[in-house]
Structure 1
Amino acid sequence: MSDENPILLDVDTDGIARLRLNRPAASNGMDVPFLQALHAAVLHCHGNPAVHVVLITGEGKNFCAGGDVRVFASKGEQLPDYLREATAWLQITVAALQQLTVPVIAAVHGFAAGGGGFGLVCASDFVIATESARFMSGAVRVGMAPDAGVTVTLTQLVGLRKATEILLTNPTLTAAEALAIGLLTKVVPDDALETEAVAYARQFVDAAPQAIGATKRLLWGGVGATVADRLPEEARTVSELSGTADSREGLAAVIERRAPKFTGK
């Protein structure tokens, strides 16, 4: 794939598929073309028998800052329609990641926020993060609701009480805090992320693929039906909220770097 593509995918000779989020100038913020390319890359991994493990990384300073708020704000009254499409692509991508028969590892640096970044963290099988990485849901902060199945997967990972706190109060979690509550697999020094992530991935190169695939299916199967049930309701809610004045104010506040002033409209 060209370096100009929003998603870069390479499969090395050991069977590690390196999937790189490639919109660094936008902190790898997700728009519709980005999500379409991400879905296509995941489907390629589904159809490539040479792939034994998928390693997701982000180019630039951040793993993924979530949805591209500037693109969203530019849509004006058309935002609900745009987000219906964006959310649909995000949902089928998350489902495709969970349905992969090979392990998915997210290697996180900088921020993992919103339905995009935070959602990918929750949808991955393993998460390795740098000590300086930060995690935040952020949806309610801009007058929207979580998506990417986070209302289900986060609860499974950290428990209902903690998930409620994270999604409703939007704390910025440090890597140490995220590890302590079970959101992460491992925290490594900032300068060791690439080395540690690849080393972690290599343990699956010679593993029994059918056993790995079956075990992953059983694990996500206990959650997947519930996630699938919630995805349409999440999409409806996100689209509905994006048409409110509070949502427009939330996006404007992020872009203008100020506190939002919500009116309940």
Structure 2
Amino acid sequence: MTTEDVLLTADADGVRTLTLNRPKAYNSLTVELKERLLAALREAAADPAVRAVVLTGAGKAFCAGQDLKEHVGLLQAGDPSPLSTVADHYNPIVRAIVDMPKPVVAAVNGPAAGAGAAFAYASDLRISAQSANFLMAFANVGLGPDSGASWTLQRLVGLGRAAELMMLARTVDAEEAQRIGLVGEVVPDEELAARAQAVAKKLAAGPTVSYAKIKEVLGTAAESSLEEALAAEDAAQTVLGGTADHREAVEAFVAKRKPEFQGK
């Protein structure tokens, strides 16, 4: 990879780190970056060697959302493609994160706004640097939420708080984000990368097939009745009970040793 690449990819210990790499533009999302990110997420999902994913940004920002300069320039040139970017890019990216059959950790290294914030909300775990903040600024430009934020944000902080953050377009700093449940952990800026890698490495060494089912069952339960949630749990346990990882965990418990999970 070169420093000119808009998306950097690195692998270590079963963890694939995807770094949005337009630091001078606060990692705002151009068509090229959106297409690269979508392809990279799909590749990570399909690669059995990848057992956890870290999503982060280069420089001082996580992601400022849509690159409005490119957006306006294309519209002024008569190009209609910006009007379809939600369907063509944002929705598929969020689906790729949510449907990823392995854990996704958002390492929020700085400001996250709009679609950038929504990508963090869609991730399974969020670790924030102290300097990070979150902003749902759609109303400021006369738009409504996209990138799944209407679905993910209220599940993290509640309907009333989500409406407040979207309608008032109020910036939430890292301390408040942790207090209201938007992020799970806040660390000093200089410790973020190492902490995110440590968490992802721990997940990568775990029963990833179980994590995939946890994601699936939580998604079902978020929008179903109790009976439907119970049925989904039952179905998942039936599958997981027959996995090599489950047998390994039971045998390791009996032998009083640490299990070695294979994701099978």
Please classify the TM superposition score into its range, dividing by the shorter chain length.
0.7 to 0.9
Q: RCO greater where, 1 or 2, for CA within 8 Å and sep 6 or more?
A: 1
Cα pair 2:26 2:61 within 8 Å, conserved: yes
1:125 maps onto 2:124 in alignment: yes
Q: Which amino acid aligns with 2:101?
A: T
- Match of 2:47? 48
- Match of 1:97? 97
Cα pair 2:86 2:147 within 8 Å, conserved: no
Pick which of 82-91 and 198-207 moved more: 82-91
- Match of 2:236? none
Cα pair 1:87 1:147 within 8 Å, conserved: no
Q: Which amino acid aligns with 1:199?
A: A
Distance in 2 between residues matched to 1:17 and 1:224, nearest whole Å: 30
Corresponding residue SS for 1:129 = strand
1:241-252 alignment, distance < 5 Å: none
Corresponding residue SS for 2:196 = helix
Q: CA deviation at 1:79?
A: 6.7
Q: Which amino acid aligns with 2:95?
A: A
1:104-253 alignment, distance < 5 Å: 104-115=104-115, 117-223=116-222
Structure 2 unaligned segments of length 5 or more: list them: 225-264
Q: CA deviation at 1:185?
A: 1.0
Q: CA deviation at 1:160?
A: 0.5
Q: CA deviation at 1:5?
A: 2.0
Q: CA deviation at 1:221?
A: 3.1
Cα pair 1:16 1:205 within 8 Å, conserved: yes
Q: Which amino acid aligns with 1:10?
A: A
Distance in 2 between residues matched to 1:224 and 1:124, nearest whole Å: 18
Cα pair 2:86 2:146 within 8 Å, conserved: no
- Match of 2:33? 34
Distance in 1 between residues matched to 2:25 and 2:220, nearest whole Å: 34
Q: Which amino acid aligns with 1:29?
A: S
CA deviations 1:209-233 (Å, max 9, x no partner) are 21111111111233489xxxxxxxx
Q: Residue 79 and residue 119 in structure 1: after superposition, are their counterparts in 2 closer, same or farther (change >3 A)?
A: farther
Distance in 1 between residues matched to 2:39 and 2:185, nearest whole Å: 28
Q: Residue 88 and residue 167 in structure 1: after superposition, are their counterparts in 2 closer, same or farther (change >3 A)?
A: same
Q: In terms of Rg, which structure is larger?
A: 2
Cα pair 2:75 2:82 within 8 Å, conserved: no
Cα pair 1:35 1:86 within 8 Å, conserved: no
1:59-70 alignment, distance < 5 Å: 59-70=58-69
Q: CA deviation at 1:145?
A: 1.4
Distance in 1 between residues matched to 2:120 and 2:58, nearest whole Å: 16
Distance in 1 between residues matched to 2:173 and 2:167, nearest whole Å: 17
Distance in 1 between residues matched to 2:110 and 2:81, nearest whole Å: 30
Cα pair 2:113 2:134 within 8 Å, conserved: yes
Corresponding residue SS for 1:83 = helix
**TM-score, normalised relative to structure 1:** 0.80
Distance in 2 between residues matched to 1:91 and 1:191, nearest whole Å: 32
Q: CA deviation at 1:121?
A: 1.2
Q: Residue 34 and residue 87 in structure 1: after superposition, are their counterparts in 2 closer, same or farther (change >3 A)?
A: farther
Distance in 2 between residues matched to 1:75 and 1:222, nearest whole Å: 41
Q: CA deviation at 1:87?
A: 4.5
Aligned residues: 223
Distance in 2 between residues matched to 1:57 and 1:2, nearest whole Å: 17
- Aligned-residue Cα RMSD (Å) equals 1.7
Q: CA deviation at 1:4?
A: 2.1
Q: Residue 99 and residue 224 in structure 1: after superposition, are their counterparts in 2 closer, same or farther (change >3 A)?
A: farther
Structure 1 unaligned segments of length 5 or more: list them: 226-265
* Identity across the alignment (%): 36
Distance in 1 between residues matched to 2:221 and 2:159, nearest whole Å: 16
**TM-score, normalised relative to structure 2:** 0.80
Cα pair 1:72 1:79 within 8 Å, conserved: no
